Structure 1
Amino acid sequence: MNIDLSRRGFLRLAGAGVAATSLGAMGFGGAEAAEQAHVRAFKLATTTETRNTCPYCSVACGIIMYSKGDVKAGETAQLLHIEGDADHPTNRGTLCPKGAALKDFVHAPTRLTKPRYRAAGASDFQDITWDEALDKIARAMKDDRDANLIQVNEAGVPVNRWTTTGFLAASATTNETAWLTYKTVRSMGIVGFDNQARV
């Protein structure tokens, strides 16, 4: 069969075909409209959505965590899904490979969920409560500060420097928390103060 088609005729036919398929793809066809009218339920519709900050590096990407279980009713929440927060100004919904694997980090069997302490000379760690851990840290800091605080330098000028203890702050935090951390550390006289972003 021989088709006699000029160049202009071919362009008209091709343009009409493109227009027809474009209209169909936008939902103007009957079959497409009926198919798109049926929307299945979202798999995360019955979960609790919680916004947080990725704990890995100093970029402080925003994440959204989806969990099931009513914590207020005493149930243990089960984390089902983690994704980047599209409304977060830092990452705008994207996550690096470590951030994308956060769910595995949360569910890892080796993840520590309580403080552990190894006594001097012991070979094993033992679980302790948060109150015990904070008391041990406070006692060690108080003893070190009492023994090593430099109140006056060689010229007799008051300096209140504590140079034997350092403090490393987290960078994945708010400006208000960072300000409060800085003021607390400096008010104790700690000179060695740095931020996780520089590590």
Structure 2
Amino acid sequence: MGIRTWINSWPVYRQLTGDDPLGRGAAARSEYTANLTPRVETADRVVKSVCPYCAVGCGQNVYVEGGKVTQIEGDPDSPVSRGRLCPKGAASLQLTTGSARAQHVLYRRPHGTEWERLDLDTAMDMIADRVIESRRSGWEEEHGGRRVRRTMGFASLGGATLDNEENYLIKKLFTALGAVQIENQARI
């Protein structure tokens, strides 16, 4: 790079000799920055979502390109967060694309020391069998002479990362199964 080329590429020189004396436009723009494009410009679609981390319910815009999530930003249309996200919400892209994200069902047998992979259908069947057995073995038709029709075989502890609809459905499911110990971490 010659001295003349270097001087002409220097922002201060362009500011003093060009049409941008305050250095807020073309004088401050390098060739590199002039060729940059917004990271969300190539997205195929934008999906509205809610941040999964806490019960605040901040709105998110999820940018999808080629069927994969490429960026997650705050939703400026959200009346809750008005386009802002906390550090955890701003890093929620890691939930979908992070290398530490679990991609397979892992199971460790009782008293086992190693994890083994299971297919999803096998894992779901195991869970269903255990719920049915726990309900059957812990079922109380009467207690103290009163009809109670409940199970003490399992409980539910919901999380604040779930939205109201999910918590409502979990409550309905566990109530229908006869559970009485149904709680949410937000109340504890």
Scaled by the length of structure 1, what TM-score is found?
0.67
| CA distance in structure 1 between the aligned counterparts of 2:172 and 2:104, rounded to whole angstroms | 28
1:45 aligns with 2:41: yes
1:183 alignment partner in structure 2: 172
Aligned to 2:125, which of 130, 135, 143?
Answer: 135
Residue type matched to 2:102 in 1?
Answer: L
Deviation of 1:137 after TM superposition, in Å, equals 1.0
1:153 alignment partner in structure 2: 143
Rg larger in structure: 1
Identity of aligned residues (%): 30
Unaligned runs of 5+ in 2: 1-24, 26-35
Size of the aligned set, in residue pairs, is: 153
| CA distance in structure 2 between the aligned counterparts of 1:128 and 1:198, rounded to whole angstroms | 34
2:82 alignment partner in structure 1: 92
| CA distance in structure 2 between the aligned counterparts of 1:95 and 1:196, rounded to whole angstroms | 22
Cα-Cα RMSD: 2.5
| CA distance in structure 2 between the aligned counterparts of 1:96 and 1:158, rounded to whole angstroms | 49
Unaligned runs of 5+ in 1: 1-30, 32-39, 72-76
| CA distance in structure 2 between the aligned counterparts of 1:87 and 1:54, rounded to whole angstroms | 14
Highest RCO, 1 vs 2 (Cα 8 Å, sep ≥ 6): 1
Residue type matched to 1:194 in 2?
Answer: E
1:83-128 Cα shifts (integer Å, max 9, x gaps) = 1122223322211111111123433222112221111222111121
Residue type matched to 1:198 in 2?
Answer: R
1:116 alignment partner in structure 2: 106
Q: 1:132 to 1:44 in 2, by over 3 A?
A: same
